[in-house]
Amino acid sequence: MSVVRSQSLIKLTSRILPCISGQQQRHSSQIWYPDAKFERDFKTAGQLGLHYLPDKTNDEVADAIGLTKLQRYMEDLSTFSDTGGGMPREKSVENMILNFGPQHPAAHGVLRLVLQLEGELVIKAIPHIGLLHRATEKLIEHKTYTQALPYFDRLEYISVMTCEQAYSLTVEKLLGIDIPPRAKYIRTLFAELTRIQNHIINVTSHALDIGAMTPFFWLFEEREKMFEFSERVSGARKHANYIRPGGVAWDLPIGFMNDLYDWTVKFPERIDEVEDMLTENRIWKQRTIDIGLVNANDALNCGCSGVMLRGSGIKWDLRKNQPYDAYNEMEFDVPIGIKGDCYDRYLCRVEEMRQSLKIIHQCLNNMPKGEIRYDDNKISPPKRAMMKSSMESLIHHFKLFTEGYQVPPGSTYTAIEAPKGEFGVYLVAD
């Protein structure tokens, strides 16, 4: 070691030794104490001790700079726990605070999360909700019951038919009416098509975020075919405005049931192909198994529903426990998970798509004949042929679309098993 380096060490350590040993007596105004910045740099620098100490020193230099005392002091510090053994010092790691969203490519919606990360592990998440609030409740106060229906399409724009279904069931409960069986079957059919669309979005977008692009494109092609079925019955691909209080807007067109049956026969092959790529994939399992664990007690205490609840091992499905429309006539299984992690919820969604196909087949095979709307011109609009021959029908049609129908005063709550969980409507009529 050169003499120059030794002199620099003497100058450097002479600043530290007075506050450590207290042997040198100076005036109190001239005594140096470590400030906050020095302590922060001193504790966080992993190899800082090597910078203060020379690699090799002779006895004279060691005595001159008080090396023995300085080493003993450093060994007492937790930051320098490995001194003397030739091991590298460990840096103190601080958790990272990350702002996720509200416009993040992996969010798939307007959501903001303030995350506290320990490496790649999320140890705390603070959600900020309400970024998609549209004042729907206030807006529909000034609309008729028919005009309020399109607002429910926008509440959950991935599963529009189920939102319409919940609202229609609530209005029908206040009216005290029972819709025709054919309308119930059509509603059930499109509710299950909507469930498949929702689960496609969930599974494939999750895979895309992890790095698997192929399932996303494969199943989105099938999703486009389902949009065509929606367009054939309502004229709209997404915001259908098809399920209405009293039944459905229009009957199924000619050839619709045959085309839908052909699609349901081929779609399981696509599910199998996606499962071949994901279910036993090493990367997929590493990213989903034991991730996002929610046990049964936590799921119940947090008020979870849908796949979040069933993935934790609780068999609760409103289609089975509180049947509505035609679900009491359907045979299907309710898949549940074991551990309550992301992998279990993925398996539940895949199996629910297969069960939805089973329900659609039953609807197609057992579709009853008859009317698609409740037979009361004060609630459902009359047929166009009747308006040309009956003045009463023309008056009913005019009043329905200008003033709307009258609902007796009261309040009710109706919930259905939507694809993302329980979707309920609390309606107050005055």
Q: Which position has the higher pLDDT, 66 or 123?
A: 123
365 and 299, same structural domain?
yes
Q: Is the pLDDT of residue 77 over 80?
A: no
Question: What pLDDT does residue 93 have?
Answer: 67
370 and 305, same structural domain?
yes
Asked if the structure places residue 319 within a domain, the reply is yes
Strands (E), 131-289: 243-244, 247-248
* Residue range 364-375, pLDDT digits in tens: 999 999 999 998
Asked if the structure places residue 87 within a domain, the reply is no
- Residue 201, domain extent: 136-429
**Is 347 in contact with 222 (CB distance < 8 Å)?**
no
pTM exceeding the 0.85 threshold for the entire prediction: no
Residue 376 sits in a domain whose CATH number is: 1.10.645.10
Mean pLDDT confidence for 228-238 = 92
Q: Which position has the higher pLDDT, 355 or 47?
A: 355
Rg over CA atoms, the chain: 34
340 and 205, same structural domain?
yes
Q: Which position has the higher pLDDT, 121 or 233?
A: 233
Question: What pLDDT does residue 322 have?
Answer: 94
Q: Which position has the higher pLDDT, 293 or 120?
A: 293
Question: What pLDDT does residue 70 have?
Answer: 53
Mean pLDDT confidence for 299-319 = 94
DSSP per residue over 381-417, as a string?
PPPHHHHHH-HHHHHHHHHHHHT-----SEEEEEEEE
Mean pLDDT confidence for 167-179 = 94
146 and 118, same structural domain?
no
Q: Is the pLDDT of residue 36 over 80?
A: no
Q: Is the pLDDT of residue 7 over 90?
A: no
DSSP per residue over 273-315, as a string?
HHHHHHTT-HHHHHHHTTSS---HHHHHHTT--THHHHTTT--
Token pair in block for residue 99: 């702002």
Question: What pLDDT does residue 405 have?
Answer: 87
Distances (CA, A) of 88 to 47, 85, 208: 7, 9, 40
Asked if the structure places residue 209 within a domain, the reply is yes
Sign of CA dihedral 32, 38, 40, 41: negative
Q: How many independent structural domains does the chain possess?
A: 3
C-alpha span between 430 and 408 (Å, rounded): 7
Residue 312 identity (one-letter amino acid): S
Q: Is the pLDDT of residue 384 over 80?
A: yes
Mean pLDDT confidence for 377-381 = 84
Mean pLDDT confidence for 170-183 = 94
Q: DSSP 3-state assignment of 357?
A: helix
223 and 156, same structural domain?
yes
Question: What pLDDT does residue 13 have?
Answer: 40
Residue 408 identity (one-letter amino acid): P
Q: How many CA atoms lie within 13 A of 138 on its CB side?
A: 3
Asked if the structure places residue 296 within a domain, the reply is yes
| Best-predicted range by mean pLDDT (115-124, 353-362, 377-386) | 353-362
Mean pLDDT confidence for 404-411 = 90
Residue 377 identity (one-letter amino acid): N
Mean pLDDT confidence for 121-141 = 87
C-alpha span between 46 and 91 (Å, rounded): 5
Asked if the structure places residue 90 within a domain, the reply is no
Question: What pLDDT does residue 334 have?
Answer: 95
* Residue range 177-229, pLDDT digits in tens: 999 999 999 999 999 999 999 999 999 999 998 889 999 999 999 999 999 99
C-alpha span between 123 and 169 (Å, rounded): 41
359 and 329, same structural domain?
yes
Question: What pLDDT does residue 16 have?
Answer: 41
261 and 298, same structural domain?
yes
Q: Is the pLDDT of residue 10 over 60?
A: no
State the average pLDDT for the chain.
83
208 and 106, same structural domain?
no
Sign of CA dihedral 50, 55, 58, 59: positive
270 and 203, same structural domain?
yes
pLDDT band at 42 (very low <50, low <70, confident <90, very high): low
Percentage of residues of the chain with pLDDT beyond 90:
55
C-alpha span between 12 and 121 (Å, rounded): 41
Asked if the structure places residue 89 within a domain, the reply is no
DSSP per residue over 170-181, as a string?
HHHHHHT----H
20 and 122, same structural domain?
no
Asked if the structure places residue 63 within a domain, the reply is yes
CA dihedral 56, 59, 62, 64 (to 10 degrees): -140
Asked if the structure places residue 86 within a domain, the reply is no
pLDDT band at 259 (very low <50, low <70, confident <90, very high): very high
Token pair in block for residue 22: 């207290």
259 and 403, same structural domain?
yes
318 and 411, same structural domain?
yes
Question: What pLDDT does residue 60 have?
Answer: 56
* Residue range 50-64, pLDDT digits in tens: 444 444 445 555 555
